[in-house]
């Protein structure tokens, strides 16, 4: 059994989240998510990044301190929140400073329209929930 690590290190060592780890490094949020926290991050899987239109992904990566930072901050909540807790929050405020809608449909937690497919990855400074798409704030 491996002991939990920080959110940043957990993402960096889990092959399902390599594109999110790369995006966090580009935007400079890797240092934030290596810090004390606690944070809850709804992390798009690599597959979720791959279904983005190529032009959208290229535009995000070309603007790491602008649009990419904005999108990534929208996936971060404050606190160490399990999946059973976030589904009760409805409209929590994200690190971006705006709310995201969280609902439940047929037993699946929905974060801003993305289904939580990998819930409750515990880290030393919070929690990761894998989601099936990149959520773009309005």
- Share of the chain residues as helix, strand and coil, in percent rounded to the nearest 5: 35, 25, 40
Q: What is the pTM of this model?
A: 0.95
Question: Residue for token digits 């819930």?
Answer: 119
pLDDT band at 4 (very low <50, low <70, confident <90, very high): confident
Each residue's pLDDT tens digit, 29-63: 999 999 999 999 999 999 999 999 999 999 999 99
* β-strand partners of 93: 99
The CATH class of 7-131 is mainly beta
Tokens for 9? 């290190």
The C-alpha atoms of residue 138 and residue 132 are separated, in whole angstroms, by: 19
β-pairing verdict for 126-131 and 108-111: unpaired
pLDDT band at 130 (very low <50, low <70, confident <90, very high): very high
- Domain range summary for the chain, segments of one domain joined by +: 7-131
The C-alpha atoms of residue 37 and residue 26 are separated, in whole angstroms, by: 20
């Amino acid at each position: 059994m491996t002991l939990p690590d920080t959110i940043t290190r957990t993402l960096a060592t889990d092959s399902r989240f390599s594109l999110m780890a790369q995006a966090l490094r580009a935007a400079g949020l890797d240092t934030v998510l290596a810090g004390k926290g606690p944070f809850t991050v709804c992390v798009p899987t690599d597959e979720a990044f791959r279904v983005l239109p190529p032009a959208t992904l290229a535009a995000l990566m070309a603007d790491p301190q602008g649009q990419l930072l904005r999108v990534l901050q929208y996936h971060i909540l404050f606190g160490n929140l399990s999946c059973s807790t976030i589904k009760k929050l409805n409209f929590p405020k994200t690190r971006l400073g705006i709310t995201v809608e969280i609902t439940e449909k047929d037993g699946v937690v929905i974060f801003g329209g993305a289904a939580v497919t990998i819930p409750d990855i515990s880290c030393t400074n919070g929690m990761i929930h894998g989601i099936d798409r990149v959520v773009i704030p309005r």
